[in-house]
């Protein structure tokens, strides 16, 4: 039976630029090692997608609705369905002194933010800086190789995967989760409680639990400390 909006699924994927075969994102460690790709958080494993929530690139998520658990698909996304065509009007010449006033030393390849837009410096010459405000993937055709690894049915497992989605480095098997009627209790491993941004991550967990699991009305985070 094909997947439906609202389903919790774990998905593996490799995303490439068709024109260059460059990998722009992936979840599979063996391919990362082969291609010598290093993720910032070092985590390679299937990611949680709640279909219909926009947690994955929309054209890919739409194709997932045609699959069943265990199935794979190669999805080709042309520029118009991806990041659009390149727009010459978004390539602008800016005086170097303007960037210097903002504390930016013009260097090719540097990212700069001007008027709430992020651009990449393409050239520096004679006090003039060429900045490209097109998305880096504009004009590119993307290829996604996706596999639906698993469908999550149990509420405690759903919460566990939501925790993992927000705290990528946590060992989800060490996360203790209990359900009491419409309340979920979550106890994180002690080593995770002190990482930077943990309170922000916890708020994200609560938001996603409330948004995607209708019969949960409260979430409690529990901290237990034992005498050493």
Residue 133 is predicted with a pLDDT of 95
| HSE, side-chain direction, 13 A CA sphere, residue 141 | 8
d(CA 198, CA 200): 5
Radius of gyration of the chain (CA): 22
Is the torsion defined by CA of 32, 38, 42, 47 positive or negative?
Answer: negative
Q: Taking a C-beta distance cutoff of 8 angstroms, is the pair 79, 139 a contact?
A: yes
pLDDT at 59: 93
List, by residue range, all CATH 2.40.10.330 domains of the chain. Answer: 88-132
Residues of the chain with CATH 3.10.50.40: 1-85+137-152
pTM confidence score:
0.85
What sign does the CA torsion over 111, 79, 25, 6 have?
A: positive
The angle subtended at Cα 96 by Cα 90 and Cα 101, nearest 5°, is 105
Assess contact for 173 and 45: CB atoms under 8 A.
no
Largest CA distance in the chain: 69
Please state which CATH number belongs to domain 154-228: 3.30.70.2210
- Chain CA centroid to CA 33, Å: 20
The pLDDT, as a whole number, for residue 217 is 96
Q: How far is residue 205's CA from residue 174's CA, in Å, rounded to a whole number?
A: 16
CB 148 within 8 A of CB 9: yes
Q: What is the pLDDT of residue 103?
A: 82
Report, in this order, helix, strand and coil percent for the chain, each rounded to 5. 25, 30, 45
Residue 98: CB atoms within 10 A of its CB come to 12
Q: What is the pLDDT of residue 226?
A: 77
CATH 2.115.10.20 correct for 88-132:
no
Predicted local confidence at residue 193, as pLDDT: 83
Segments of the chain assigned to CATH 3.30.70.2210: 154-228
Give me the pLDDT at residue 99, please.
86
**How far apart (Å, rounded) are the C-alpha atoms in residues 87 and 93?**
14
CA dist 56 and 12 (Å) reads: 11
Top-level CATH class of 1-85+137-152? alpha beta
Task: Please tell me the predicted confidence (pLDDT) of residue 141.
Answer: 97
Per-residue pLDDT of the chain (228 residues; tens, 9 = 90+): 789 999 999 999 999 999 999 999 999 999 998 988 887 767 899 999 999 999 999 999 999 999 999 999 999 999 999 999 999 999 999 998 888 888 888 889 989 888 888 999 999 988 899 999 999 999 999 999 999 999 999 999 999 999 999 998 899 999 999 999 999 999 999 888 888 899 999 999 999 999 999 999 999 999 887 777
* pLDDT computed for residue 227 by the predictor: 79
pLDDT at 151: 97
What's the DSSP call for residue 56? S
| pLDDT score for 72 | 97
């Amino acid at each position: 039976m094909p997947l439906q909006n609202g389903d919790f699924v774990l998905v593996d994927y490799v995303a490439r630029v068709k024109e260059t075969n460059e990998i722009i994102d992936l979840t599979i460690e063996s391919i990362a090692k082969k291609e010598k790709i290093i993720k910032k958080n070092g985590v390679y494993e299937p990611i949680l997608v709640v279909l219909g929530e926009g947690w994955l690139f929309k054209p890919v998520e739409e194709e997932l609705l045609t699959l069943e658990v265990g199935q794979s698909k190669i999805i080709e996304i042309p520029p118009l369905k991806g990041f659009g065509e390149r727009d010459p009007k978004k390539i602008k010449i800016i005086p170097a002194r303007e960037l210097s006033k903002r504390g930016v030393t013009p260097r090719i390849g540097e990212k700069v933010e001007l008027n709430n837009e992020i651009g990449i410096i393409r050239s520096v010459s004679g006090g003039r800086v060429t900045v490209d405000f097109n998305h880096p993937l504009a004009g590119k055709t993307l290829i996604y190789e996706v596999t639906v690894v698993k469908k999550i049915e149990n509420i405690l497992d759903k919460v566990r995967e939501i925790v993992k989605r927000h705290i990528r480095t946590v060992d989800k098997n060490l996360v203790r989760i209990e359900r009491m009627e419409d309340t979920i209790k979550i106890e994180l491993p002690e080593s995770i409680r002190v990482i930077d941004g943990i309170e922000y991550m916890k708020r994200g967990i609560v938001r996603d639990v409330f948004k995607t699991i209708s019969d949960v009305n409260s979430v409690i985070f529990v901290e237990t400390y034992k005498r050493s």
